[in-house]
Every structure is written in structure tokens, then in C-alpha cells.
């Protein structure tokens, strides 16, 4: 009996681990869905950057170094404005750019990997800012501005990778010209989106001005004080579906654990019954002993006695 009890004890941790594994399998689609939503948002923004790079390069018909050229965007992206400016890397590093739209680029800005000429693409996403760069619990006070650097060796190239543009001395300043006033009691913040989905908030360096040492997309935001809008019918259905999935996962896991526990108990009971049957069978196969009375009790006695002893004087030759 003790042997079977000790043999079944290691099954309990295994059952617990199995339950956790099943719950993770059932709930994991929700986690994957959340991750895919963030990944798809970043992918859409990167696709937009590639499209705007293509149209910005189309503005270079007879380009002159250091001269900004405004470019046209597709009609289905009305509200976005882009500009392209070609520069020599050495000139950018030693002279900077006094003012490129809202960006003031100081001396000491370098790119990696090094190229002889580069193009600075300026973006103003206007009313498309929130669509491509959503920031939960925050409200935009200014359109999202982008500054990205590309290789200028081939002005007909598309889908170019961005160069890593960094300020090695003074930071790059962004002086926003189109900023809505902040509500009383709110604290405006600078927001920076890098090219990989990272978001960073910082304090304004002065009125309507932010600074950065890297390229990316920038704006001014405040924390949202309005209550969240009620969920739509489709969002409510999706929330209910997720709730039912979680409840069903837990209930199913508990039911599975109970079923496995029942199997363990049933197996132990079958082993115990089998052992009793084997003991009874062994008892039936053995020779039965006759019982005899000894006082007030009964004790087993042999039915065959040993050979009687023979006295010497009774020996007959």
C-alpha cells in the first residue's frame, strides 16, 4: 500500500505542470494577438517612410547641394508634406544646417555608415500622425515631424535603408511652429519615436522646442484628461470573446486536472484489488491445516504423526 502511495506522489507536480502548459496554450493566442498589433503598427510606419523616401527623391530633377526641394505625395496621403535636401557629409559635419524647416542641425552631426553625400528627408505627417504613431493616454498638440537620412549616391533608388544620423556635440533642435495651446494644469512633453518602435518622453527645452541627438519622428503631447470613449459593439464582442476564452481555459484545465486525478485513484484501486486477488489465490493453492482444540482455543495441527520410536528390548531380529 505504501509503495503505491509513494509511486503516485510524483504525478502531482507533473499534473500541475501539465495544467499550466494547457492554460498557456489556450491563452497564448491573446498575447500573440497583442504583440502582432504592435508589430503591425511599426511595420505600417516603416512602409510609410519607404514610400515618402521614394516620392522625396522624385523632387530631385536638377538638384543643387544644400537646397531643400518640396515634393508631392500621392493623392491618397493628402495632408502629409515632405521635403528633400542633398548635402555633403563633410559639410554637414563641419557646418551643420542653420535651419531646415523646423530642424536646427548643429556642427558635429555624423552618419553611419559613412557616405560621401546624403539626403535629409523631412516629413510633416499632419492629420496622419495619430494613425501611424498612436500614443495611448496622450494627445498630440503638434503634428508629428520626421527627419531621416539616406544615401544620395543614387537618386533613383527606392526602399533605401536609413543611415544612423547622430549629433556628436550639441543636440539637434526641433522648433515646432504649429502647436495648439495646452489646457490649464497639463504639462506638455516632447515625444520621440525611433525607427524600431521605441517611444521616449522628455521635457521641453524651451517654449514649443524639443531636442534630440538621433533621427526619428518628434512631436509635443500631453496626457489625456478626457474619460475614455465607450467601446464600440465590435470591441465589446471581442472583449467578451477573450473573457470567455480565458474562463473556458481555466475551467477546462481544472476539469482535466480532476480527470487525471480520478485516473490516478482508479489505477491505485485496480492495483490494490489485483494484489488482494493474488494473495487470496496464493492462500487457496497452499495446503489446509487441521484445527484442534487446546484448552479454550483452537490451533492448527498436523494430520500425520512422525514414526513411533522402537525400544531396544522390543527389537525382533
* pLDDT tops 90 at residue 49: yes
Reported pTM: 0.62
Q: Is 204 within a domain?
A: yes
Q: Are 53 and 148 in contact (CB under 8 A)?
A: yes
For residues 258 and 154, the model is more confident at 154
Reported as a pLDDT band with limits 50, 70 and 90, residue 240 is confident
Rounded Cα distance, 39 and 262, in Å: 44
Work out the average pLDDT over 260-264.
83
Report the pLDDT value the prediction gives residue 230, as an integer from 0 to 100.
61
* pLDDT tops 90 at residue 23: no
CATH number, domain at 154? Answer: 2.60.220
Rounded Cα distance, 285 and 114, in Å: 96
Report the pLDDT value the prediction gives residue 264, as an integer from 0 to 100.
84
End-to-end CA distance of the chain: 63
Report the pLDDT value the prediction gives residue 224, as an integer from 0 to 100.
87
* pLDDT tops 60 at residue 96: yes
Report the pLDDT value the prediction gives residue 34, as an integer from 0 to 100.
39
Q: Give residues with Cβ within 8 angstroms of 289, minimum separation 6.
A: 300, 301, 302
Continuous H helices in the chain? 2-8, 11-57, 89-95, 129-132, 233-285
Work out the average pLDDT over 210-223.
97
* pLDDT tops 50 at residue 35: no
For residues 70 and 1, the model is more confident at 70
- As a whole number, the mean pLDDT across the chain is 82
Report the pLDDT value the prediction gives residue 191, as an integer from 0 to 100.
97
Q: Is 296 within a domain?
A: no
* pLDDT tops 90 at residue 11: no
* Range of weakest confidence among 150-164, 185-199, 210-224, 264-278: 264-278
Q: Is 159 within a domain?
A: yes
* Range of weakest confidence among 90-94, 152-156, 253-257, 307-311: 307-311
For residues 230 and 154, the model is more confident at 154
Rounded Cα distance, 139 and 219, in Å: 10
Q: Is 289 within a domain?
A: no
Q: Is 270 within a domain?
A: no
Share of the chain above pLDDT 70, in %: 71
* Range of weakest confidence among 169-173, 186-190, 238-242: 238-242
Q: Are 137 and 191 in contact (CB under 8 A)?
A: no
Report the pLDDT value the prediction gives residue 32, as an integer from 0 to 100.
39
Instruction: Specify the 3-state DSSP secondary structure of 65.
Output: coil
Q: Is 259 within a domain?
A: no
Rounded Cα distance, 205 and 119, in Å: 27
Closest CA to 118 of 154, 146, 168, 71: 154
Report the pLDDT value the prediction gives residue 292, as an integer from 0 to 100.
67
Place of cell 498638440: 141
Range of the domain at 63: 39-223
Which 8-state DSSP code applies to residue 67? -
For residues 239 and 216, the model is more confident at 216
Work out the average pLDDT over 135-140.
95
The two counts, helices (H) then strands (E), for the chain are 5, 16
Work out the average pLDDT over 190-210.
95
Reported as a pLDDT band with limits 50, 70 and 90, residue 281 is confident
Q: Is 189 within a domain?
A: yes
Report the pLDDT value the prediction gives residue 305, as an integer from 0 to 100.
54
Q: Are 118 and 110 in contact (CB under 8 A)?
A: no
Q: Is 299 within a domain?
A: no
Reported as a pLDDT band with limits 50, 70 and 90, residue 8 is very low
Number of domains forming the structure of the chain = 1
* Range of weakest confidence among 30-44, 135-149, 183-197, 290-304: 30-44
* Range of weakest confidence among 149-163, 176-190, 285-299: 285-299
Amino acid at each position: 500500500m505504501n509503495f503505491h502511495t509513494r509511486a503516485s506522489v510524483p504525478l502531482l507536480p507533473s499534473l500541475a505542470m501539465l495544467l499550466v502548459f494547457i492554460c498557456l496554450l489556450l491563452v497564448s493566442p491573446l498575447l500573440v494577438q497583442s504583440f502582432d498589433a504592435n508589430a503591425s503598427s511599426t511595420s505600417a510606419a516603416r512602409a510609410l517612410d519607404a514610400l515618402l523616401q521614394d516620392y522625396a527623391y522624385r523632387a530631385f530633377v536638377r538638384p543643387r547641394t544644400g537646397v531643400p526641394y518640396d515634393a508631392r505625395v500621392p493623392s491618397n496621403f493628402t495632408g502629409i508634406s515632405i521635403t528633400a535636401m542633398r548635402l555633403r557629409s563633410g559639410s554637414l559635419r563641419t557646418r551643420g544646417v542653420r535651419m531646415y524647416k523646423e530642424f536646427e542641425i548643429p556642427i558635429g552631426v555624423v552618419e553611419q555608415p559613412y557616405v560621401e553625400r546624403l539626403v535629409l528627408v523631412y516629413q510633416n505627417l499632419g492629420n496622419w500622425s495619430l494613425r501611424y504613431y498612436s500614443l495611448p493616454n496622450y494627445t498630440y498638440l503638434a503634428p508629428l515631424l520626421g527627419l531621416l537620412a539616406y544615401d544620395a549616391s543614387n537618386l533613383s533608388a527606392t526602399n533605401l535603408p536609413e543611415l544612423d544620423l547622430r549629433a556628436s556635440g550639441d543636440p539637434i533642435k526641433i522648433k515646432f511652429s504649429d502647436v495648439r495651446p495646452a489646457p490649464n494644469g497639463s504639462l506638455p512633453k516632447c515625444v520621440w519615436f525611433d525607427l524600431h518602435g521605441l517611444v521616449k518622453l522628455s521635457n521641453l527645452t524651451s517654449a514649443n522646442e524639443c531636442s534630440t541627438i538621433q533621427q526619428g519622428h518628434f512631436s509635443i503631447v500631453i496626457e489625456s484628461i478626457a474619460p475614455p470613449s465607450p467601446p464600440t459593439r465590435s470591441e465589446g464582442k471581442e472583449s467578451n470573446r477573450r473573457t470567455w476564452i480565458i474562463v473556458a481555459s481555466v475551467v477546462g484545465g481544472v476539469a482535466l486536472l480532476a480527470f487525471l486525478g480520478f485516473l490516478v485513484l482508479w489505477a491505485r484501486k485496480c492495483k490494490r484489488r489485483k494484489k488482494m486477488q493474488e494473495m487470496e489465490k496464493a492462500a487457496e493453492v497452499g495446503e489446509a491445516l487441521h484445527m484442534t482444540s487446546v484448552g479454550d482455543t483452537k490451533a492448527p495441527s498436523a494430520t500425520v504423526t512422525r514414526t513411533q520410536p522402537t525400544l531396544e528390548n522390543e527389537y525382533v531380529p
